[in-house]
Amino acid sequence: MTALSTPALSNLQINADRLWSTILETAQFGGTPKGGVKRLTLSEEDRQVRDWFRAACEAAGCTVSVDALGNMFALRPGRDASKAPLGIGSHLDTQPTGGKFDGILGTLAALEVVRALNDAGIETDTPLCVVNWTNEEGSRFAPAMMGSAGHVADLPLAEILARTDAEGVSVGEALDAIGYRGEVPLGTQKFSGFLELHIEQGPILEAENLTIGVVEHGQGIIWYNGRITGFESHAGSTPMHLRKDALATLSEIVLAVEKLAVDLGPNAVGTVADITIARQSRNVIPGEITFATEFRTPDAGILEALDKGLQAAVVRIAQKRKVSVQLDTIWRKEPTHFDPKVTGAVAAAAQKLGLSHRPMVSGAGHDSFHLATIVPTGMIFVPCKDGVSHNELESATKDDCAAGANVLLHAVLALAGDAAKA
């Protein structure tokens, strides 16, 4: 590979048209009539985009390996093979009514960085590794960020493989069904650092007319599974004071979650969703309900207070309504603090490219939260329309996607070594 002069390096740009066309091309795998994407993790559509990704990475000169959870690693050698690669990437799975940018932008921008370096004949000092993490979304199988959790040993492999979807299919069975249970043991792929580009999934950058978010912190998250067991009985003949109504109980829990998040705000959010009433009939008092709930906040103390508050509220509501409520914590992730060296490289790249930027906290969960527990890690945000995400209407402009990918490219050059020294 040829050495470039420093001015040529500092003007280096990704190919915005190529990045945009890969985003549109991969949006066909699971594309929905409303312009979104339904590509649940380890589904047939996920297999299709994985096959596309593998072929594209190989065509860009990378060697692709797959680990025991289907995490995909595309290695681009550097000058110094003794160095662990700098990881760049995100995820290609989506929500059931997802968009074409959440996770996808970060994965395809990482591929675009490799393609742009190839075009310019640049070999970095540190090798690069483009990554597609399995099941970031946590929609089909809980919890979210599952592949990266396995990679950093936050959850044991056997426990992850045994987790099931709503149809009772396990992660292990789903990996086998699409041929992506890889040979490589979990955690084998080492990194010297990790960097992820993502849409913001919130309204701040757009509202402030800024292009780049330098993500310094990530929210802590707690996910619970709940089950309320009351008593099914006749809706006409059971007096109100004798009822054990599971749905009325859930209503109180929903309001308690909302009140806790508001009272402990402004930096706290709480949600109840994914509710199933067993054996429904309009004239039977609901006797059994399952539900999911979560809290998020960047403050570890507030996360603990939200947890304690919910546990106490559930006991109080269950006693009052004479029902039993089981609340299982299925996932807890403490707040993340990204590495100043990596966030500094992101801010410096945005500055060098003349892009407006500000420090940010990530509201959404990301695989980078896990990577931050083992190596210096950072994230780059770009705006999305109206802050909408986890929705088929999710949208980001070609220019903002390109700006984010250029920041990724220049942060990579800063962190992985300057080719001008080649």
Residues forming the site for ligand GLV (CB under 6 A)? 137-138, 144, 364-365
Q: Which does 193 bind (CB under 5 to 8 A by kind): ligand GLV, Mn ion, none?
A: none
Q: Which does 4 bind (CB under 5 to 8 A by kind): Mn ion, ligand GLV, none?
A: none
Q: Which is nearer to ligand GLV, 364 or 371 (CB)?
A: 364
Burial grade of 280 (CB within 10 A; 0-12, 13-18, 19 or more): exposed
CA pseudo-torsion sign 235, 237, 239, 244: negative
Residue closest to 402 by CA, chosen among 200, 40, 113, 189:
113
Measured CA to CA, the distance from residue 347 to residue 379 in angstroms comes to 10
Q: Which is nearer to ligand GLV, 91 or 243 (CB)?
A: 91
Tokens 């929705």: give the residue: 391
Residue 370 Cβ vs Mn ion, minimum distance, rounded to whole Å: 13
Q: Which is nearer to Mn ion, 41 or 297 (CB)?
A: 41
Residue 219 Cβ vs ligand GLV, minimum distance, rounded to whole Å: 9
Q: Which does 144 bind (CB under 5 to 8 A by kind): ligand GLV, Mn ion, none?
A: ligand GLV
**CA distances (Å), 392 to each of 37, 104, 106, 395, 399, in order?**
7, 14, 18, 8, 20
Q: Which does 302 bind (CB under 5 to 8 A by kind): ligand GLV, Mn ion, none?
A: none
Burial grade of 29 (CB within 10 A; 0-12, 13-18, 19 or more): buried
Q: Which does 154 bind (CB under 5 to 8 A by kind): ligand GLV, Mn ion, none?
A: none
Q: Which is nearer to ligand GLV, 138 or 270 (CB)?
A: 138
Using the rule CB under 5 A, give the single segment among 94-102, 178-186, 225-233, 295-303 that binds Mn ion.
94-102
Residue 39 Cβ vs ligand GLV, minimum distance, rounded to whole Å: 13
The per-residue DSSP string of 238-287 comes to S-GGG---HHHHHHHHHHHHHHHHHHT-SS-EEEEEEEEESS--TTB---
> Which H or E run includes 75?
strand 72-76
Residue 132 Cβ vs ligand GLV, minimum distance, rounded to whole Å: 15
Q: Which is nearer to ligand GLV, 138 or 230 (CB)?
A: 138
Tell me which of 78, 87, 89, 103 binds Mn ion, using CB under 5 A: 103
For β-strands 357-362 and 212-218, DSSP reports them as: parallel
Tell me the residue number closest to Mn ion, measured at CB: 103
Q: Which is nearer to ligand GLV, 343 or 362 (CB)?
A: 362
93 interacts with Mn ion by CB under 5 A: no
102 interacts with Mn ion by CB under 5 A: yes
Residue closest to 228 by CA, chosen among 308, 320, 294, 327:
327
Q: Are 39 and 23 in contact (CB under 8 A)?
A: no
Measured CA to CA, the distance from residue 390 to residue 384 in angstroms comes to 11
Q: Which is nearer to ligand GLV, 138 or 335 (CB)?
A: 138
Map residues 235-274 to x or -, x wherever contact with Mn ion holds by CB under 5 A.
----------------------------------------
> Which H or E run includes 87?
strand 86-91
Q: Which is nearer to Mn ion, 103 or 230 (CB)?
A: 103
Q: Are 380 and 195 in contact (CB under 8 A)?
A: yes
**Positions in the binding site for Mn ion (CB under 5 A):** 102-103
